[in-house]
A and B are shown apart, each in its own frame.
Chain A
Amino acid sequence: MEPDVSVETSAMIRIAIIPIGKIPHQTLRDYYSMFLHHHTIPLSSISSFYTEEQKSPFTNQPWETGSLRFKFILGGEPPSPWEDFQSNRKILAVIGVCHCPLSPDLDSVIEEFDGVCKGYASARVTRCFGFFPCDSQLEDGGKKGENLRLFPPADRQTQEMHLQTMLQEIAASLLMEFEKYVFQAESAGTILKTPLDSQASLSSEEVIKAKKRRLGRAQKTIGDYCLLAGSPVDANAHYSTALELARLTADYFWYAGALEGSVCALLIDQLGLKDPSLEDEVRYRYSSVILHYKKSFIPENAQRVSPLSFELEANLKLARYLCRRELAKEVVDLLTSAADGAKSLIDATDRLILYVEIARLFGTLGYQRKAAFFSRQVAQLYLQQDNKLAAISALQVLSMTTKAYRVQSRASISNNSHTNEVGSSHADSGKMHHQSVVSLFESQWSTLQMVVLREILLSAVRAGDPLAAWSAAARLLRSYYPQITPAGQNGLARALANSSEMLPSGIRCSDPALPFVRLYSFPLHPSQMDIIKCNPAREDWWAGSAPSGPFIYTPFSKGEPNDSSKQDLIWIVGEPVHILVELANPCGFNLRVDSIYLSVHSGNFDPFPISLDLPPNSSKVITLSGIPTSVGPVTIPGCTVHCFGVITEHLFRDVDNLLHGAAQGLVLSDPFRCCGSPKLKNVSVPNISVVPPLPLLVSHVVGGDGAIVLYEGEIREIHISLANAGTVPVDQAHISLSGKNQDSVLSISYETLKSMLPLKPGAEVILPVTLKAWKLGLVDLDNASGSMGRQLKDSSSPSLLIHYAGPLTDCEDPPKESAVAPGRRLVVPLNMCVLQGLSFVKARLLSMEIPAHVGENLPKPVYLENSASKEAIGSETKMDGLVKIDPFRGSWGLRFLELELSNPTDLVFEISVSVQLDSTEDKLSNGQDATEYGYPKTRIDRDFSARVLIPLEHFKLPILDGSFFMKDFKPDGAVGSRNSSFSEKSAKAELKASINNLISRIKVRWQSGRTSSGELNIKDAIQAALKTSAMDVLLPDPLTFGFRLVRDNLSQESGDSRPKGSVSAHDMTPMEIVVRNNTKEMIRMSLNITCRDVAGENCVEGTKATVLWSGVLNGIAIDAPPLQESKHSFSLYFLVPGEYSLVAAALIEDATDLLRARAKTNSPDEPIFCRGPPFHVRVIGTA
């Protein structure tokens, strides 16, 4: 069988091109390509070389339109046993090609050429072409034999012209030779034999038949020569005769041959015409051809020789002729039947050629999978030959099938993509799309694909192509590891290693092997290096750049395209960046990755390679880092991996596709899942841009970056050191707070930072910050009792946000917003760990009364200045200052807030209480300067409780008013008046304000050890304590009683030597009782006065009365006008010196509801009894 047969093959003149002398491969190919341009020589162009010696046998030669067809065969071929049967199989001309610079001796060239020509007995024209001869050779060549043609050195175009002329000359010579042959054949009648004609068949059985047969064969051969001479009409005439004779003699083989020739003549005659009738004719005749070849099959010599190859060739010729998509079915049938013949072919080479041709035709038809199938058959035949050249051929053939089996090397894909682009513009776009979807899931016909790759690997190893072997093994391992046994995987790993040993180091391969690499995450900048966009138009340039809340979408971000899938990332020149990638080795061997680094095509990134070992069936997340080197966008398509001795690029996209397919169950296995790595959502590669250097502040807390451990309420000053670690000075900086518990930061020294700006690179500033620990809530308390770590993680600590930026470079052109260098944000978390401190148990209000002395003007009447009472004790100690006259009660009173505190910590606390007497706003004690009173410290040991007394200043409202009992009156509806509501409200507010005022002035500080100190928050405690007894504390009694000595002024002044308020025994002491009505209504009462001695005995009445009196003491009826006071005078005569106390009591008659409410009576009939405080009287004298 012959390759590349077609119907027209019969009309082609075979010319062997033989290299003579030394010719480099490339040069020879170059010369050969020049020949290829001249495969068709028009008859019209050769007439100048043609001389008609006698009448041409080709009577109908179309000199105007016809042409001679050449088929150049580089290197020639051995003579075929079938050349009598098909004259076109003969080598009719030999052209020697000589590269003169390498073959200086032209004689030896001619000698060698003549030797070569002897091998081609059928050659009718021989020429030797010498290219690029030197001058001496040119001169020399002129004299040498006529067969030598020298091509003077010239450019290619000239040489091709020259060559064309030479070939025209050859064509003319051939034509004349053909004429000679035809004459000879017609006259002499040569004996034409084929291997089919056995000795037996040409026996003397039927001599006449044999003669006719010989005649027919001669006619057929003449027809062949007519075809070669380019005269189809003549050929047709001879073929007709031959057909007739062959049919008569039942020479089916030659009949078929003649018929084939006639088809060729028909086609040549009607060149370019493609009408259906012609096609039908060709189809009809060829089916006859095939039939007759079949008929000529002689079983007895089938072992030796068979016309099968001609039948198959005829099949292929027809198939090639019909090879169009519309006729696909027909062609497929022809090719299928041709393929069926393959197993009957004796010669393996024939089978090879047959499969090659079938594959080619299927390829032409667009049946890629069929073509691939037969190509693989070809490759298998090559591989059976077991030599290197066959293996190379097998490798080449197999690599052509990779596209159909979707196991392409990536290199070929990238090459094909260009051609595809051109083709796809016409192609059905839907189909393209469909294919691209399928290509995502390549590993589908996995059995086939593995077989093909294994064969590629085998042939590459045999062919000695280590790169192809490496690539095939890599593809096999990467795509089909789940279907390969661990032993097979090890074998592949060894194949990879072996191949790489033969490869130069540092070679790249486009097909990645292992490991699988996927993007794990793009870590954003740590909060210490956060980059924010500058808004130069605003004073607070950092505002609006950072997301202001936990929401991905904020209604405040103006209508920017919300493209959240592609986030933007900013990298800075010179600052290292990190990317996390995950590697997986799903195979059963230890994988050594010599180096892996990010592959960046934009050229402005310096990746740092790392190397690692991946144990079998494992995955690992690693950090790959690098430094951006210049401004511009950066794209990171994947990683460059140096593994198994070859550098490959692993694209993230491929693995993403793979994982996507695995998720849908379309791909064999997920390499990461089978290594035990958890499922990861798709990470998209953000748009990365690199910006010029920015300043970089680095912070640490002076004295350690650990958590700041504080007890509740503790106040401490810490120092935060900020250093500029960048290469650009910090020009602007601003500090703000964020996070929870912001009020725990009492002060930040902004000025310290401001004064240091601009902060040069390397400079440092120390920033004092005052902190106060917050109060732990209930939840916090639980946490505090739990682990410390949890407390730390709890994001209840505030943080400092420091926005800073380098110098503003392009302030002048605001339109280019992108030109503004971004600022940065430093987040300094204040890791406060608040421990539970003193805990508050309960608060109580304590009060005590110290009776007042009865004196001339003590107590001062309430309508006098309130401050008078304090003047009296001004000279006393501070402690005494707390004891104050209750102006309403008229007695000394002392009130404390008792706080019970427990100390659950393991430290000792010291509590100090101070009251700030800032009473300018206090209506009851106005005119006072702000003073503070300190008291001795209270010490609370660990696990102990202690009570702390906090003195409360006396204060009461001046009037007992209905407003405080509003809610009590409401149900009655009688007294409550709506028009008074305003004043009532204001009175309530006044009450509240006064409570708050009181509380705010009390400060409870604690100290523990030397450093810790803080303040207790007792506001709530006091409020709770006051709530229950606020009324008693704040509201005045309805009546105020006071006793007074009545003396003339003179005697009082002269009696300086005596103690104040003292009374002599045995002396009539005139006194008066002052009753003040604190309500707005008239009160009628019945007043009683009693005097008791130290033992509490009533000493006015009874049998042993020690005090005599004049005036009325009991049942004194007094009407006290509203807010006025009434007096009642009486005199006492003390018989015994000593201490007495005077007590006034009043029974209020016709008590109003207001008074009842104040007295908290239950029934309206109950008498309202009002009792004043006791007043001391010291009676001096002798008994």
Chain B
Amino acid sequence: MATTACFIIVSRNDIPIYETDAGSATKREDASQMHQFILHAALDIVQDLAWTTSAMYLKAIDRFNDMVVSVYVTAGHTRFMLLHDSRNDDGIKSFFQEVHELYIKILLNPLYLPGSRITSSHFDTKVRALARKYL
């Protein structure tokens, strides 16, 4: 389990639709803000990088100090962004793939408006479980 991990899902309109703190480190408010800032800034890089490869998992695309941003871009250009300080590439990849499946299930919900905030508590629980499992 990583000490710091912040997971965020950004819709294709660059709006965060899900965010969770998956890290085991004690949360400090300014630190979690910093995480968001880093992830937000990384969007610029994702935006260019997503078109250069056919893979959905873009690996670690950005870093600030000792924190690394790994990104997974779905076909619908929804971005899963993970801020972490551990280097467990395989685990992160599996994490992203499983979250993608969960996300697809959310999308299949006819009452879910694509691009709106994911409020399902079930999704949240599952994502947290995945984070514990892989990160």
Asked if B120 is at the interface of the complex by the 8 Å CB criterion, the answer is no
A664 with B13: CB separation less than 8 A: no
- Min CB gap A647→B, angstroms: 33
Considering the complex, give the chain A residue whose CB is closest to the CB of B65. Answer: A343
Asked if B2 is at the interface of the complex by the 8 Å CB criterion, the answer is no
- Min CB gap B55→A, angstroms: 15
A373 with B37: CB separation less than 8 A: yes
| B13: A residues at CB distance < 8 A | 434, 437-438
Asked if B14 is at the interface of the complex by the 8 Å CB criterion, the answer is yes
- Min CB gap A985→B, angstroms: 70
Asked if A376 is at the interface of the complex by the 8 Å CB criterion, the answer is yes
State which size class the interface on B falls in. 20 to 34
A369 with B62: CB separation less than 8 A: no
A373 with B63: CB separation less than 8 A: no
| B117: A residues at CB distance < 8 A | 665-666
- Min CB gap A665→B, angstroms: 5
| A373: B residues at CB distance < 8 A | 37-38, 40-41, 64
| B38: A residues at CB distance < 8 A | 373
Instruction: Give the most central of B37, B62, B63, B65: most A CB within 10 Å.
Output: B37
A369 with B44: CB separation less than 8 A: yes
Given contacts A447-B33, A448-B36, A451-B33, contact A372 B16 (CB under 8 A): no
Complex A-B, nearest 5 residue pairs according to Cβ-Cβ distance, in ascending order: A373-B41, A367-B44, A444-B15, A369-B44, A665-B116
Q: What number of A residues sit within 8 Å (CB to CB) of B?
A: 29
Considering the complex, give the chain A residue whose CB is closest to the CB of B62. Answer: A336
Asked if A339 is at the interface of the complex by the 8 Å CB criterion, the answer is yes
B15 with A664: CB separation less than 8 A: no
Partner of A445, one of B16, B48, B62, B113: B16
Instruction: Give the most central of A329, A367, A445: most B CB within 10 Å.
Output: A445
Asked if B108 is at the interface of the complex by the 8 Å CB criterion, the answer is no
Asked if A340 is at the interface of the complex by the 8 Å CB criterion, the answer is yes
Asked if B129 is at the interface of the complex by the 8 Å CB criterion, the answer is no
CA distance A448 to B116 in the complex (A): 18
Partner of B37, one of A368, A437, A448, A665: A448
Asked if A332 is at the interface of the complex by the 8 Å CB criterion, the answer is yes
| A374: B residues at CB distance < 8 A | 41
Asked if B45 is at the interface of the complex by the 8 Å CB criterion, the answer is yes
- Min CB gap A282→B, angstroms: 22
B residues lining the A interface (CB < 8 Å): 13-16, 32-33, 36-38, 40-41, 43-45, 48-49, 52, 62-65, 113, 115-117
| B49: A residues at CB distance < 8 A | 329
A residues lining the B interface (CB < 8 Å): 328-329, 332, 336, 339-340, 343, 362, 367-370, 372-374, 376, 405, 434, 437-438, 441, 444-445, 447-448, 451, 664-666
Show 29 A/B contacts (Cβ-Cβ < 8 Å), sorted by A: A329-B48, A336-B62, A336-B63, A339-B64, A340-B65, A343-B65, A362-B44, A367-B41, A367-B44, A367-B45, A369-B44, A370-B44, A373-B38, A373-B40, A374-B41, A376-B37, A437-B13, A438-B13, A444-B14, A444-B15, A445-B15, A445-B36, A447-B36, A448-B36, A448-B37, A664-B113, A665-B113, A665-B116, A666-B115
A370 with B41: CB separation less than 8 A: yes
Given A329-B52, A666-B15, 5 extra CB contacts under 8 A: A329-B48, A367-B41, A373-B64, A374-B41, A405-B40
B40 with A666: CB separation less than 8 A: no
Partner of B116, one of A329, A372, A376, A666: A666
- Min CB gap B108→A, angstroms: 18
CA distance A447 to B6 in the complex (A): 14
| A362: B residues at CB distance < 8 A | 44
- Min CB gap B34→A, angstroms: 9
CA distance A405 to B33 in the complex (A): 13
| A441: B residues at CB distance < 8 A | 15
CA distance A368 to B44 in the complex (A): 7
CA distance A448 to B37 in the complex (A): 6
Considering the complex, give the chain A residue whose CB is closest to the CB of B41. Answer: A373
| A367: B residues at CB distance < 8 A | 41, 44-45
- Min CB gap A669→B, angstroms: 12
Considering the complex, give the chain B residue whose CB is closest to the CB of A332. Answer: B45
- Min CB gap A556→B, angstroms: 42
| A444: B residues at CB distance < 8 A | 14-16
Considering the complex, give the chain A residue whose CB is closest to the CB of B48. Answer: A328
- Min CB gap A962→B, angstroms: 79
